[in-house]
Structure formats: structure tokens, C-alpha cells
């Protein structure tokens, strides 16, 4: 059992330490204690009896698992001892040999320390919080290898921010929660935000209410040495819409999206060893707002080492409010701009074996680039969220030259062997439980496929349709399939703290 130190003064305050943080609680008595025998009790963990002496060691203990602990420091005015790390709150009191008892009331342990700035390579564990939206909870200012693990992070701004180009970062087994900045027009922070990263391994992390999960921006012409591995992570309720400053969210304008992403790789060409796999993103209607969940923007792998996006579970991609008439988000997309060239366009991306459920506008799309492949994915979207609201639906899988790029920048894309059941609908913005036009099946839009035997053109083949009615039961079955896949592979998703 892990132990946490607590520090108790017998004068003005009770101080409970958790990591580097301290929480003070008012305590009215000014009496001091100088007894030779002191016992510390916690309502959930039983009573521990201490004998004061040279080494200040535990005399006897009664705990659920029998773990023995010790007094760390002691004097006539304070006692520092250890309690189980899992203790969060409870009653705490001091007994001494004179038979008196001082009831210190109910304490709550604050797990979080102040924001940190990492200047040196190494391994870091801890709990950090920033309530200043301009200051990340964890800032990295070194190119050396930094491992952040077994941590809890909260903040009104970014949770982890890398300011040194060429960073080399590992994040494992951490939880992150974005807090409302309570500043009108400002969005929640990202779980991870970097510029010109060289290498990132992010595995078994959990995040909630973040605007971005992993934000990797670079500049055209720079190659990340790699690897870029984003695997086994869990995200709940991506939130990309700006705060209204009062605990709510500003309304999204119809025909747009909040432009936040679970993962975005932007302007990262010829990236080696990039893999985005076995992640779970679940967004609840009314509690989330997301753009493209996975966006590969003017970024590329190589022919020998493509960007591999596979076996992700993406459930729920909605605007807020959910029933805006138009929305431009998606689950996974290859993206870009009219300025893309063959060298800068999104290329060598494989998108396969993913599951997309209940996604507004577009399931998976190739909207830009060359030599990209979408295959063996499952997409099911009924057009109606679990709360009964209709949301804007366009198409399940699309292949189209969205930016009217030159033929040298848009070619050789493949869509094959997918299974789709997608309902297109235009909701009634005045009544989320109704629609303007009757829902209809819209599984594929493959405008960019080969025509007239054009050499090196895009190819679409063997794409199937989910039979029958597409409703909440069909969507629920996809959850069962995902859970079965995890069990078969022995994979655990998210932090295991």
C-alpha cells in the first residue's frame, strides 16, 4: 500500500499534505500536546497507536491490510504521520495518554500540487494543477527524454505543454481533466500540446473535457524522427466550444465545427513510426462538442512507414447544441488546403479496422492528399443521439477532392472492404426531437473514385452496407463488438491508477 504523509499542527490549523500540496483547515484550540503516547485515527482505516521515542516508530497498527506505518516527525505542537495514499477524506482526531481527545473534524486531502516546469530529462510522477489558463499544469522546456507517468493533472489551460522544439516525451498512466476557464470566449485546454515534437509515446492515459487530446503542430518541410505512438488512451466528452464565462458554453454557429480534435497531426511530413490505435473516445450529447476526432492535416508518413490509424473506438461526435442545421466535423479525416503540393499533402495514411458510432456529418473521409487508404472499418450512425435528439448527418464514408487540389496532389486513394450503415438527416433547430427532412440512408459518397480507367486514380471496391434498420440497437451491438475485441487481445484502455 502506498502511503501519504500528513502534517498536523495543534495550534491554528490542520494541514494535510498530499505530494507537494497542502490544505489547511481551521482549528480553534490553541492547546499544545506533549504526551508520550499519541494515537491517530481515521474512520475508514482504523486506529493506529504510536509511541513517541527516538525513532518515532509505530508501536501497533490496525489497518485493513495490516500495513504498518510510522510517525515521521513529532513535537509538542505538531505530528507528522502516514496514512494510506487512497485516503481522500474522513474524520481525524488525536488521543493522548491523559485521556483527552482532540477532534480535528473532517479533512479532505488535496492531491494536487502547483504547476511544474521540467527543465531536465528524467522521469516525473505527481499530481499537478493550474488555475491560470495561461500557465500549463506541466510545461516541458527540454529536448531530452521526459517521462511523465502515474500522474493526475487538472487545469484551466493546457495540461501538458511542450515549448522546446524537438521534444522527446513519454506519457503513461496519467489522468487529465480540463476545467472551465470561466473566461468568455476561451476554450478548455488540451491534454497535450506541442510544437515541432520529435517523438511522442502516449499510452494508457485518460482525459475528460479537454478541447484537444493530442495537438501536434509543426511546419512544412520538417520531419519528426519518431516514433509517434498514441495508443490505449481513453477520452470522455471532448469540449471544443468556448466558455461563456458563467459555467456554460457559447453557441456554435451552424455550418461550422469547433475545430478541436482528439488527435491532430498538422504539417508533419514524412513522419516515421506514427501509430494512432486502440483508443476510445466517447462523447455524450449535450455534454460535449467536437470537430474531427482524428485529423491528419497536410501531414504524411512514408511508403515504407505509413501513418497507421487502426482499431480505434469513436462513439459520438456532436456539435453543441446538438441540433444545429449544419455541422462540418467527422470521426477521421485526411485534411489539407488548396495550397497543398505533392510534397506537403496528406499522404501514406492507412485507416483501418476502426469503429465509428453515432457521428454527425461524416464518419470517415479522404478530403485531401494522395496514397491514402481506408479499409475494413465499421461505421454505424442512426442520426439520433441517446437523449432522443436528431443531429445533422451527411454521409458514412466520403472520398472527394474537397480543396480542388491539382492532380499531382490528389490521387491514388483507396476505399475498400468497409461496412457502413449511416442515416443522413437535417434536424429541426427549434425542436431537437424533430427534423426538417425525412432521414435516409447515405452510406458512401465516392466522387473521387477511378473513372474511365484513369491511371493511378483512386479505387473503391468491395464496400458493404449494414442490412436493415439502423437504430440504437445496432449501435449498441458495436459496443459489444469493441468490448469483445479488447477481451480477445487482453488490452486495457485508459489509466490504471
Please give the average per-residue pLDDT across 248-264, as a whole number.
82
Closest by CA position to 275, among listed 257, 256, 294, 291:
294
Residues 6 or more apart from 487 whose CB is under 8 A from it?
Answer: none
Q: Where do the domains of the chain lie?
A: 3-108, 135-489
Higher per-residue pLDDT: 47 or 308: 308
pLDDT confidence of residue 434: 75
Is the pLDDT at 404 greater than 90? The verdict is yes
Q: Are strands 168-178 and 206-208 parallel, antiparallel or unpaired?
A: parallel
- The DSSP letter of residue 189 is P
**What is the H or E stretch that residue 477 is in?**
helix 472-489
Higher pLDDT, 238 or 286: 238
Looking at per-residue confidence, does 4 or 58 come out higher? 4
Q: Are 38 and 50 in contact (CB under 8 A)?
A: yes
pLDDT reading at 211 higher than 60: yes
Going by pLDDT thresholds of 50, 70 and 90, the confidence category of residue 105 is very low
Say if residues 379 and 424 touch (Cβ distance below 8 Å).
no
Residue entry with cell 494512432: 276
15: pLDDT strictly greater than 70: no
Give residue 174's pLDDT band: very low, low, confident or very high (50, 70, 90).
Answer: very high
| Mode of pairing for the β-strands spanning 199-203 and 160-162 | unpaired
Per-residue pLDDT band for 254 (boundaries 50, 70, 90) equals: low
Model confidence band, residue 450 (pLDDT cutoffs 50, 70, 90): low
Q: Would you give the DSSP letter of residue 327?
A: B
8 A C-beta contact, residue 210 and residue 184: no
Q: Tell me which of 4 and 437 has the higher pLDDT.
A: 437
CB atoms < 10 A from the CB of 320, how many? 21
Q: Around Cβ 67, how many Cβ atoms within 10 Å?
A: 13
Q: Do the beta carbons of residue 190 and residue 213 sit within 8 Å?
A: yes
DSSP structural state of residue 487: H
pLDDT tops 50 at residue 44: no
Q: pLDDT category, 426, cuts 50, 70, 90? A: confident
Q: Tell me what percent of the residues of the chain surpass a pLDDT of 70.
A: 74
Confidence tier at 258 by pLDDT (50, 70, 90) = confident
pLDDT value at residue 72? 46
In this predicted structure, the answer to whether residue 227 has a pLDDT above a threshold of 50 is yes
Q: What is the DSSP letter of 302?
A: -
Phi, psi (rounded to 5 degrees) for 194: -140, 160
Residue from 86, 139, 88 nearest 114 by CA: 139
What is the pLDDT confidence band of residue 459, given thresholds at 50, 70 and 90? confident
For residue 81, pLDDT over 80 is answered with: no
- Give the model's confidence band at 89: pLDDT under 50 very low, under 70 low, under 90 confident, else very high: low
Cell output for 92:
481525524
The tens digit of pLDDT for each residue in 284-341 reads 998 999 999 999 999 999 999 999 999 999 999 998 888 888 888 999 999 999 999 9
Q: What is the largest CA-CA distance in the chain?
A: 98
Check if CATH label 3.30.70 holds for domain 135-489: no
The confidence score (pLDDT) of residue 54 equals 28
More confident residue, 100 or 35: 100
Q: For the chain, what's the residue count?
A: 497
DSSP 251: P
> Among 36, 64, 32, which Cα is nearest to 50's?
36
In 382-463, DSSP assigns E strands to 393-399, 414-416, 419-428, 431-441, 444-445, 459-461
- The set of residues, in sequence order, having a beta carbon less than 8 Å from that of 407 and lying 6+ positions away, is none
pLDDT at position 7 over 50: no
The span from the CA of 489 to the CA of 310, in Å, is 14
The H or E element that residue 201 is part of is strand 199-203
276: nearest Cα among 201, 193, 224: 201
What pLDDT, in 10s, does the model give residues 370-396?
999 999 999 999 999 988 888 999 999
Which of these, 167, 181, 175, 245, lies nearest to 211 by C-alpha position?
A: 181
Higher per-residue pLDDT: 161 or 102 = 161
**Residue 488 CB contacts under 8 Å (≥ 6 apart), including other chains:** none
Q: Give the Cβ contact number of residue 237 at 10 Å.
A: 19
Residue 107 confidence (pLDDT) = 44
Question: What Cα–Cα distance (Å) separates residue 396 from each residue in 363, 370, 377?
Answer: 5, 20, 11
d(CA 196, CA 218): 5
Does residue 9 surpass a pLDDT of 50?
A: no
Calpha distance 401→417 (Å, rounded): 21
Amino acid at each position: 500500500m502506498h502511503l501519504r504523509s500528513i502534517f498536523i499542527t495543534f495550534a491554528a490549523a490542520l494541514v494535510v499534505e498530499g505530494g507537494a500540496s497542502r490544505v489547511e483547515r481551521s482549528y480553534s484550540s490553541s492547546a499544545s500536546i506533549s504526551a508520550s503516547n499519541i494515537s491517530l485515527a481515521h474512520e475508514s482505516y482504523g486506529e493506529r497507536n504510536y509511541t513517541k521515542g527516538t525513532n518515532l516508530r509505530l508501536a501497533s497498527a490496525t489497518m485493513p491490510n495490516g500495513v504498518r506505518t510510522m510517525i515521521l516527525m513529532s513535537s509538542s505542537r505538531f505530528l507528522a504521520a502516514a496514512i494510506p495514499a487512497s485516503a481522500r477524506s474522513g474524520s481525524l482526531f488525536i488521543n493522548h495518554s491523559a485521556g483527552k481527545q482532540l477532534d480535528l473534524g473532517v479533512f479532505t486531502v488535496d492531491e494536487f500540487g502547483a504547476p511544474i516546469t521540467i527543465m531536465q530529462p528524467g522521469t516525473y510522477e505527481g499530481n499537478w494543477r493550474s488555475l491560470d489558463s495561461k500557465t500549463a499544469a506541466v510545461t516541458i522546456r527540454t529536448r531530452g527524454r521526459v517521462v511523465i507517468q502515474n500522474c493526475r493533472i487538472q487545469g484551466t489551460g493546457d495540461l501538458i505543454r511542450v515549448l522546446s522544439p524537438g521534444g522527446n516525451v513519454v506519457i503513461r498512466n496519467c489522468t487529465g481533466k480540463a476545467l472551465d476557464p470561466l473566461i468568455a470566449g476561451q476554450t478548455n485546454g488540451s491534454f497535450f500540446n506541442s510544437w515541432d515534437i520529435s517523438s511522442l509515446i502516449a499510452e494508457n492515459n485518460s482525459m475528460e473535457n479537454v478541447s484537444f487530446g493530442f495537438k501536434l503542430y509543426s511546419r512544412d518541410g520538417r520531419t519528426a524522427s519518431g516514433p509517434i505512438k498514441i495508443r490505449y488512451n481513453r477520452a470522455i466528452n471532448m469540449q471544443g466550444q468556448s466558455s461563456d464565462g458563467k459555467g456554460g458554453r457559447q453557441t456554435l454557429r451552424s455550418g461550422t465545427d469547433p475545430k478541436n480534435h482528439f488527435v491532430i497531426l498538422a504539417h508533419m511530413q514524412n513522419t516515421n513510426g506514427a501509430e494512432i490505435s486502440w483508443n476510445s473516445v466517447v462523447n455524450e450529447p449535450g455534454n460535449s462538442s467536437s470537430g474531427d476526432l482524428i485529423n491528419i492535416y497536410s501531414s504524411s508518413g512514408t511508403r515504407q512507414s505509413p501513418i497507421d490509424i487502426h482499431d480505434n473506438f469513436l462513439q459520438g461526435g456532436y456539435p453543441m447544441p446538438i441540433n444545429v442545421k449544419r455541422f462540418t466535423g467527422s470521426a477521421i479525416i485526411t485534411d489539407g488546403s488548396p495550397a497543398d503540393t505533392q510534397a506537403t499533402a496528406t499522404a501514406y495514411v492507412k485507416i483501418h479496422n476502426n469503429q465509428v458510432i453515432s457521428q454527425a456529418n461524416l464518419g470517415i473521409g479522404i478530403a485531401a492528399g494522395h496514397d491514402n487508404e481506408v479499409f475494413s472499418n465499421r461505421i454505424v450512425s442512426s442520426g439520433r443521439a441517446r437523449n432522443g435528439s436528431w443531429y445533422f448527418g451527411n454521409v458514412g464514408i466520403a472520398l472527394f477532392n474537397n480543396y480542388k487540389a491539382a492532380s499531382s496532389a490528389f490521387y491514388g486513394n483507396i476505399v475498400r472492404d468497409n461496412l457502413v450503415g449511416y442515416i443522413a438527416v437535417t434536424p429541426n433547430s427549434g425542436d431537437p426531437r424533430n427534423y426538417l427532412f425525412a432521414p435516409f440512408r447515405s452510406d458512401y459518397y465516392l466522387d473521387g473514385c477511378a473513372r474511365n480507367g484513369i491511371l493511378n486514380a483512386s479505387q473503391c471496391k468491395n464496400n458493404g452496407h449494414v442490412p436493415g434498420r439502423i437504430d440504437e440497437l445496432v449501435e449498441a451491438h458495436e459496443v459489444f463488438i469493441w468490448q469483445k475485441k479488447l477481451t480477445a487481445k487482453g488490452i486495457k484502455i485508459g489509466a490504471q491508477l
